[in-house]
Structure 1
Amino acid sequence: MAILTVDPTAPASAAVGEQPLRKTAWRAVMMVSLIVLIAGIVRLAFSPVQEAAKLELGLSDYQISLIQGIAAALPMAIIAIPLGWLTDHSKRSRLMLILGLCWTVGMICSTFANDFASLFVARMLAGVGTMSLIPVAVSVLADLSAPTQRGRAMLFLGMGNTLGPALAFVLGGALFTAFSGTLDLPGLTLSPWRETSLVFGVVSAVAILAQFAIREPARHEVENASADLGVMLKALGKRWKFLLPLFVGQISVIMADAAAGVWAVPVMQRDLGLTVGEASGMLGGMLLLAGVLGPVIGGFVADRGHKSSLRGGILLGAVIASAVGVPAAIFPIITSVPTFAIVLFLLLAAGSITGLITATAIAVLVPNEERGVCLGAFMILGALIGLGVSPVLVTLGSQALGGEAHLGLSLAIVGVVTGAISLLGFMMAMRNAPAPVVAVEQP
């Protein structure tokens, strides 16, 4: 198997402000993006079958929201900053392999969970592994790509990150339907949702082998090679006027997308009368389309904005996309299936665009040695608030509105409010954006 790496002989710039002349290692970019895709599949592999698991295990909507949100959010808040430091100062390819083992074990353990506690722990392992991968992958791709092509390189990561969940719904719904019929795994007697989970776990285990093809790339654009965490946090603190609203903007988008990812299929089953296969297939199709178009649009818009003279121009696309996401968040209360699908697609595409642009902005505007810690801090807030809180907010909202029958209305309210907050955040981040980092090779 060929080892993929970046060309370490690319010359550094001698002139201040001039970018280094190095090529983007596209084969390595594709390999990292494939790993991100596998992680995306595992991250949402439980969502298509959660209604069946809920029925078999006697769980409530509130318990499902804890499994889908808090289970991964709490441990992520603990490990995010240390993981960010390791991303900046250790072998990132090894970190990716460890995380792959973590989410694979979690996916397989989900198959054999028999109660709330065991399923909570299994999904915690899967969630922590899959969500921790993104900042490591962003750091790797930043060093595999030239600064002027970074948006286009990140679009492949963005496509993997959105196509993975899409495939989770498409394949998950299809497998569940097949296992509910005549198909069975040889030598096993499991319920359909468990067989579906086991297939995803086995596929993930095989896919881990691809990670051995990735070698650690050389680090570029190092502003300060100090490994002191306090120094890095202080340096990030100087950029708080940019980073804080950027975090608010993207975390609010994550809240809307996470809530939709957890509850869209149940809403379609309960309110639109669709089957698991139909609902999962439709959501998967929307994610597939958004996963292709969103990163492509976001990548090219980010590169175009970065080259413009407009301050914070790299974030202009995120401002526009978040504005589209506000009205699109009303999809859960739409009763027409075609209109429901169109509006849901707009929400998912907007989230895909903003996510890609946010990652690109951090890769361009934050020095190399601070990116991991920056993304680690982002992961804490994203995990606790974006992924952990939003599914629970939807269930609490439905209870306040009168019970689980009001799940769709509560989901719409959470989406519109978080969408409006994200728009304000991105506008402020664009206004306070710093100048791009001067690229200097690490000796």
Structure 2
Amino acid sequence: MHPRVPRPPLPPAFTRLSWSSVLTQFAEQIALVAVPLAAVLLLGADAAGTALLQVAQTLPFLLLAIPFGLLVDRSSPRRLLLLSEALRASTLVAVIVLLALDALRFESLLALGFAGAVGTMGISVAVPAAVPRTVSRDRLVDANRWLELGRSAAFIGGPAVAGAIVSLGGADTAFVVATVACLAALAVLARTDIPARVAAPRTTPWRDIGEGLRFAFSHALLRPMIVTSFVFNVGWFQLQSVFVVYALDRLGMTPATVGAAMAVYGGGMVIGALLAPVLSRRFALGALTMLGPLGGFAAALLMAATLWVPAPAFAFAAYLLFGLGPVLWTIGTTSLRQAVTPVSMIGRVSSVLVVATYGARPVGAALGAVVAAGVGVEACIVLCAGVFAAQLGYVLLSALRRVREIPADPADAAVEATPPDESAGGRTAPSARGSASE
């Protein structure tokens, strides 16, 4: 038996891109903790105020993601990355200056939070578009695994560091640390060479946006990614909206154990990213992606089991699976999306996924609030399991499950969108030709 030959390192351009992404995610996680803490501790904001901050920090993803995707396709991911990171850094600097002058007001914090979220959204759209420009098609899974590993580490370390900094040095110190991380990311990006695509004839913006939407929703592999991501996040944020109350009242958990359960979610993300290379060698790409929806459904069943057996251990196990499964899904589907989407359209297609993911958050939270208020928290837990069953059932019936590996043909030459009525009846979609089983 021959020993497995180690794969060569990823290109320096991607290495710099991934480090800038880690620094960006770290800064974002610190800011997401520091902003509401500053609002409450320094400005006396109530629950309605912190909820309004959450709206301001998510609204850009719904309003501007698709136009930003068009900007990526028409110009350069590098340019958008630099501008977005600079915008994030400038908003953090503005908060620091206002704090130093004792001039920070809730309205200014709200406006700066919205502006900073515009930068975060730009990065979320531009990074997936930049990856296939910096690595070869056969290394997409490796590249996205490293990005997810960095994101997972930021999700674990960022909030913990932010809480400690606010406790020891105050909210202004947390903003300083976030700004330093943001500026470091900007410096790394400035040294990152991301090839720009060859300029193509332009049409009207609306026509280009419509082209991207039609491609994404008619494609036999992209459509299930969009729908599954939306439904998964509806179920996830429905659970998130009621879990703290449910855990304290029904499971007898303390605030400390509730926080520990949520931290296990980040641990699951790290485990998933570390297991991805082993699992990708043992499973076909489609089967690997199915572990995400399957893990979400198994986690929802574990949470539902606490209705009969109110054991905190079930909640801990559920949060572990909620973290582990989606990372495997993200690594697999992001790599496949980058491979089957023409380079000239990848920004717009990535933006559709951003809208589906972030647009599901207020829908899920609102659904949880309505059901919990009208029927009870227990009914919300049961409905959550139903939502996760729906996303699993849908994706198992899609062409995504049958994909074996990243298609070998160049995306621009080999990919064709498949209308929904042509992918039924057991036919293999043209977009999966050569990579899906019959």
Q: Normalising to structure 2: TM-score of the pair?
A: 0.73
Whole-Å Cα distance in 2 between the matches of residues 87 and 204 of structure 1?
A: 21
Shift of 1:305: 5.3
Whole-Å Cα distance in 1 between the matches of residues 232 and 329 of structure 2?
A: 8
Q: Which residue of 1 aligns with 2:177?
A: 199
Q: Which residue of 2 aligns with 1:340?
A: 315
Q: Which residue of 2 aligns with 1:365?
A: 340
Would you say 1:67 and 2:56 are equivalent positions?
no
2:118 to 119, 123, 128: 128
Counterpart mapping for 1:140-151 below 5 A: 140-151=130-141
Contact 2:66 2:351 in 1 (8 A): yes
1:36 to 21, 45, 55: 21
Q: Which residue of 1 aligns with 2:254?
A: 273
Would you say 1:249 and 2:228 are equivalent positions?
yes
1:97 to 56, 74, 82: 82
Whole-Å Cα distance in 2 between the matches of residues 110 and 339 of structure 1?
A: 41
Whole-Å Cα distance in 1 between the matches of residues 159 and 306 of structure 2?
A: 18
Match of 1:44, SS state, is: helix
Q: Deviations over 1:111-133 (max 9, x none)?
A: 65956543332332233322331
Shift of 1:76: 2.5
Contact 1:242 1:432 in 2 (8 A): no
Whole-Å Cα distance in 2 between the matches of residues 382 and 212 of structure 1?
A: 29
Contact 1:325 1:351 in 2 (8 A): no
Q: Judging changes above 3 Å, is the alpha-carbon distance between structure 1 residues 401 and 204 closer, same or farther for their aligned structure 2 residues? A: farther
More deviation, 320-329/226-235: 226-235
Q: Deviations over 1:353-375 (max 9, x none)?
A: 22222212211222222211111
Q: Normalising to structure 1: TM-score of the pair?
A: 0.72
Contact 2:236 2:364 in 1 (8 A): no
Whole-Å Cα distance in 2 between the matches of residues 269 and 110 of structure 1?
A: 35
Query: What code does the residue aligned with 1:83 have?
Result: F
Whole-Å Cα distance in 2 between the matches of residues 47 and 32 of structure 1?
A: 22
Q: Which residue of 1 aligns with 2:392?
A: 423
1:283 to 259, 262, 269: 262
Query: What code does the residue aligned with 1:118 have?
Result: S
Would you say 1:349 and 2:327 are equivalent positions?
no
1:436 to 389, 404, 407: 407
Q: Judging changes above 3 Å, is the alpha-carbon distance between structure 1 residues 114 and 423 closer, same or farther for their aligned structure 2 residues? A: farther
Counterpart mapping for 1:298-337 below 5 A: 298=276, 301=279, 312=286, 315-328=289-302
Match of 2:385, SS state, is: helix
Contact 2:291 2:329 in 1 (8 A): yes
Whole-Å Cα distance in 2 between the matches of residues 48 and 394 of structure 1?
A: 23
Stretches of structure 1 that go unaligned for 5 or more consecutive residues are: 1-22, 185-191
Contact 1:72 1:123 in 2 (8 A): yes
Whole-Å Cα distance in 1 between the matches of residues 183 and 373 of structure 2?
A: 39
Contact 2:225 2:333 in 1 (8 A): yes
Q: CA RMSD in A?
A: 4.0
Q: Which residue of 2 aligns with 1:378?
A: 353
Whole-Å Cα distance in 1 between the matches of residues 147 and 300 of structure 2?
A: 25
Q: Judging changes above 3 Å, is the alpha-carbon distance between structure 1 residues 373 and 382 closer, same or farther for their aligned structure 2 residues? A: same
Stretches of structure 2 that go unaligned for 5 or more consecutive residues are: 1-7, 414-438
Whole-Å Cα distance in 2 between the matches of residues 264 and 227 of structure 1?
A: 48
Q: Which residue of 1 aligns with 2:427?
A: none
Query: What code does the residue aligned with 2:364 have?
Result: S
Whole-Å Cα distance in 1 between the matches of residues 105 and 215 of structure 2?
A: 43
Whole-Å Cα distance in 2 between the matches of residues 324 and 227 of structure 1?
A: 47
Contact 1:242 1:433 in 2 (8 A): no
Q: Deviations over 1:78-125 (max 9, x none)?
A: 322221122223121121111112223344556659565433323322
Query: What code does the residue aligned with 1:199 have?
Result: V
In the alignment of these two chains, the number of paired residues is 392
Contact 1:46 1:197 in 2 (8 A): yes
Query: What code does the residue aligned with 1:327 have?
Result: L
Match of 1:438, SS state, is: coil
Contact 1:324 1:346 in 2 (8 A): yes
Q: Which residue of 1 aligns with 2:192?
A: 214
Contact 2:77 2:194 in 1 (8 A): yes
Contact 1:108 1:201 in 2 (8 A): yes
Q: Judging changes above 3 Å, is the alpha-carbon distance between structure 1 residues 60 and 390 closer, same or farther for their aligned structure 2 residues? A: farther
Q: Which residue of 1 aligns with 2:165?
A: 175
Shift of 1:395: 4.3
Contact 1:329 1:419 in 2 (8 A): no
Would you say 1:293 and 2:240 are equivalent positions?
no
Match of 1:169, SS state, is: helix
Q: Which residue of 2 aligns with 1:9?
A: none
Whole-Å Cα distance in 1 between the matches of residues 410 and 130 of structure 2?
A: 16
Q: Deviations over 1:211-230 (max 9, x none)?
A: 112112365xx9x9554463
Identity %: 16
Contact 1:298 1:317 in 2 (8 A): no
Q: Judging changes above 3 Å, is the alpha-carbon distance between structure 1 residues 314 and 398 closer, same or farther for their aligned structure 2 residues? A: closer
Query: What code does the residue aligned with 1:419 have?
Result: F
Contact 2:303 2:314 in 1 (8 A): no
Whole-Å Cα distance in 1 between the matches of residues 122 and 178 of structure 2?
A: 19
Whole-Å Cα distance in 1 between the matches of residues 117 and 302 of structure 2?
A: 27
Whole-Å Cα distance in 1 between the matches of residues 58 and 156 of structure 2?
A: 21
Whole-Å Cα distance in 1 between the matches of residues 121 and 23 of structure 2?
A: 12
Q: Judging changes above 3 Å, is the alpha-carbon distance between structure 1 residues 210 and 234 closer, same or farther for their aligned structure 2 residues? A: closer
Query: What code does the residue aligned with 2:290 have?
Result: L
